[in-house]
Amino acid sequence: MDNQDKKRQLIIDSAIKRFAHFGLSKTTMTEIASDLSMSKALLYYYFPDKISLYSAVLESIIVEMENDLSRGVEKIKTIEKAIFYVLEKRQEYILKYYNILDYIRTSGSDLPENIQKIIQDAKSSETRIIASVLQRGKDAGEIKISNANDSAALLMDALIGMRYIAFSSHKIFQPQGDQFDSLLLRQKKLASVYLKGLR
C-alpha cells in the first residue's frame, strides 16, 4: 500500500468512526479533516464530497463483512449452521454500523446510483456465499437442488423481505435489541424450513 492509499484508508477509518457515532447527516467534512489534523483541501483531494466518502466507507464495511462471512462459513460443517452464521454475522454488522446504514434506509429510492450499485454488489456477494454453502450441502448429499445460485437467490429474497417488513414502518431507525433478536429468530426459522424443503 503506497502513501496515497494509506492516507485514503486513514480518511475512511476516521469517517467510519464519525459516521458510526453521529450518522452521515450530523458529520461534516471539516470534523473529519480536524480528526486527522488534515487540511480540508487535502481531504477534498481524496474525496470531492461527503457522498463519495460515504460510498468508500460503505464499500470498506461491506468488504470487511464479506471477508468475515467467507472465512466463517468455510469452517462450519453443516449447512444450517453455516446459514445461521451468515445471519448472525450480518446482524452483528447492522447493529455495529446502524448509524451509517440508516442513510440507505431513509433515502429509499433517492440513493445515488453509485451507492445503489454498492448495495446490489453486496447482495450479490452475500448470495454467492450462501450459494457456496448450498452447493457444499448438495455435494455432501445433505440437500437436493438443481441450481445452488437460484436456491440462494430465493432464500436471500425471502430474508430481505423479512427485514423490510420488520423495519420499513419505523421512521427513526433506533435498533432495539429484542426487535433484532426477534427478526434473527424468525429468519433462522425460515432458513430451517427452507433447508428442510431442500432435503
Contact by Cβ (8 Å): 88, 25: no
Angle at 197 between CA 191 and CA 199, to 5 degrees: 105
Instruction: Output the pLDDT for position 178.
Output: 76
Grid cell in block for residue 87: 445471519
At 169, the pLDDT band (50, 70, 90 cuts) reads low
For residues 5 and 1, give the distance between their C-alpha atoms in angstroms, rounded to a whole number: 6
Percent of the chain whose pLDDT exceeds 90:
75
Rg (CA), the chain: 19
At 170, the pLDDT band (50, 70, 90 cuts) reads low
Q: How far apart are the first and last CA of the chain?
A: 47
For residues 50 and 53, give the distance between their C-alpha atoms in angstroms, rounded to a whole number: 5
Instruction: Output the pLDDT for position 167.
Output: 64
Instruction: Output the pLDDT for position 172.
Output: 46
pTM (predicted TM-score): 0.87
Instruction: Output the pLDDT for position 2.
Output: 81
Instruction: Output the pLDDT for position 8.
Output: 95
Amino acid at 6: K
- Given a cut of 50, whether residue 181 has pLDDT beyond it is yes
